[in-house]
Amino acid sequence: MTSPFFQHAVNRRGIEIGDGLIGTLADPQGGRQNHPMSTRQDLSRLISSARRIVVFTGAGISTESGIPDFRSPGGVWSQIKPILFQDFVAKPERRVEAWRRTFSGRAGWVGRAPNDGHQAVKALWDQGKLTCAITQNVDNLHQASGLPDEAVVELHGNAGYASCLACGLRHEIEDLRPGFEATEVPPSCRACGGLVKVATISFGQSMPLEPMRRAEAAARSCDLFLILGSSLVVYPAAAIPRLARDAGARLAILNREPTDLDDTADLVLHDEIGPCLREIIL
Ligand SMILES: NC(=O)c1ccc[n+]([C@@H]2O[C@H](COP(=O)([O-])OP(=O)(O)OC[C@H]3O[C@@H](n4cnc5c(N)ncnc54)[C@H](O)[C@@H]3O)[C@@H](O)[C@H]2O)c1
Ligand SMILES: [Zn+2]
């Protein structure tokens, strides 16, 4: 059965992810408090008093690892226009372009090292306080910090490998490079001949069901939902914090810039993630 929040798919800036996900997210309904707490010490206290923390990360946690986010100046979207899922499937020339981008490494999403932000999340796991990290990132840096796979919920996939759109078989990107570079023919599945695509979720592609279910369940059962480095404009991912808040969790946002959910959060801190979490967690 489809969960109600799968229907909230289009944000106010018109960005859509997911097949058949229609509807416009309503304006957040009146906040509990106008986030009176806003210092690192306040965040530290909130984390100390929590027992079941869910961390929700966006591109902002990885900028200190040298991976540009989407919306800051110089971000990915100012340089590379995304290829829509339907175009990848329908247009061979878009598939060629997608694979050229992958092998050029232009997006810079793979091969970086985790930073203090990722290490702080791992430290919460080691302290037994973290249920999971729900991430919109595709850079594998939570896993690279030592967080086990079962503690990471990837909402938008992973840029570190490819998979067959027909049968799901995993393909290693470097295994596909020689064939593509020799022929410029986009790779097809070695098992079934289907289209092979980097295992990220593109705009227009269905959200992965199992991670969405895990994220929803974790959000509904945590006592602190901590957002790190997300502009919260990409839906349906950005609907998840509201699930946590509506189920009674505290909502805390650590982000350099204001977000659409600031008014409804218990704590908002406009700060740099690495230095802040190094001071209060590491
Ligand atoms: N690293 C990655 O895997 C990566 C990189 C770019 C984009 N993406 C994808 O792009 C989409 C973008 O949405 P999003 O909300 O994740 O990112 P976003 O680019 O929309 O927002 C990032 C937010 O983080 C803030 N930020 C940046 N660096 C920060 C820092 N050091 N400390 C504190 N705040 C900081 C920015 O002000 C911004 O509000 C996601 O769906 C994601 O899948 C992923
Ligand atoms: Zn296949």
Give the CATH number for residue 276.
3.40.50.1220
Q: Dihedral sign for Cα 166, 104, 233, 138, please.
A: positive
Asked whether 18 lines ligand 1 (CB < 6 A), one says: no
> One of 35, 118, 156, 171 is an active-site residue; which one?
156
Q: Is 231 in the pocket of ligand 1 (CB under 6 A)?
A: yes
User: What is the rounded CA–CA span in Å between residue 181 and residue 92?
Assistant: 16
Query: What total of structural domains would you count in the chain?
Result: 2
Domain edge (last residue) among 200, 228, 254? 200
Cα 72 to chain centroid, rounded: 16
The CA 162 to ligand 2 mean position distance, Å, reads 11
DSSP state of 129: -
Could you give the residue ranges of the DSSP H alpha helices within the chain? 40-49, 76-79, 85-90, 92-104, 116-126, 141-144, 173-183, 209-221, 240-246, 273-280
| Residues 276 and 168 placed together within one structural domain of the fold | no
Do 101 and 79 share a structural domain? yes
Catalytic residue status for 118: no
Residue 253 DSSP code: E
Which structural domain range is residue 182 located in?
69-107+158-200
Alpha-carbon gap, residue 129 to 148, rounded angstroms: 14
Q: Which atom of ligand 1 is nearest to the CA of 159?
A: 3
What is the pLDDT tens value at each position of the chain, 282 positions in all? 334 333 333 333 333 333 322 222 223 333 444 555 589 999 999 999 999 999 999 999 999 999 988 876 666 666 678 899 999 999 999 999 999 999 997 777 888 999 999 999 999 999 999 999 999 999 999 999 999 999 999 999 999 999 999 999 999 999 999 999 999 999 999 999 999 999 999 999 999 999 999 999 999 999 999 999 999 999 999 999 999 999 999 999 999 999 999 999 999 999 999 999 999 999
**Are 223 and 248 contained in the same domain?**
yes
140 and 268 co-located in one domain: yes
pLDDT at 36: 54
- Confirm or reject: Cβ of 278 under 6 Å from ligand 1: no
What pLDDT is stored for residue 38 in this prediction? 84
Q: Do residues 268 and 149 both lie within one domain?
A: yes
> Of 136, 169, 200, which residue constitutes the final position of a domain?
200
User: Is-contact 208 36, C-beta < 8 A?
Assistant: no
Residue 196 lies in a domain: yes
What is d(CA 153, CA 57) in angstroms, rounded to the nearest whole number? 10
| One domain, residues 81 and 132 | no
**Beta pairing partners, 226:** 55, 252
Compute, in angstroms, the gap from residue 59 CA to the centroid of ligand 1. Answer: 3
For residues 213 and 186, membership in a common domain is answered with no
Question: By alpha-carbon position, which residue is closest to atom 27 of ligand 1?
Answer: 60
Q: What's residue 109's pLDDT?
A: 82
Query: Is residue 11 in some structural domain?
Result: no
pLDDT value of position 110: 84
Based on the domain organization, do 152 and 162 belong to the same domain? no
CATH number at residue 82: 3.30.1600.10
CA distance 68 to 60: 8
**CA 165 to ligand 1 center in whole angstroms:** 26
Query: 232, 196 in Cβ contact below 8 A?
Result: no
Residues 147 and 167 in one domain: no
Are residues 130 and 262 both part of a single domain? yes
The answer to whether residues 241 and 176 belong to one domain is no
**Do 265 and 239 share a domain, yes or no?**
yes
Instruction: Give 193 Cα–ligand 1 centroid separation in angstroms.
Output: 35
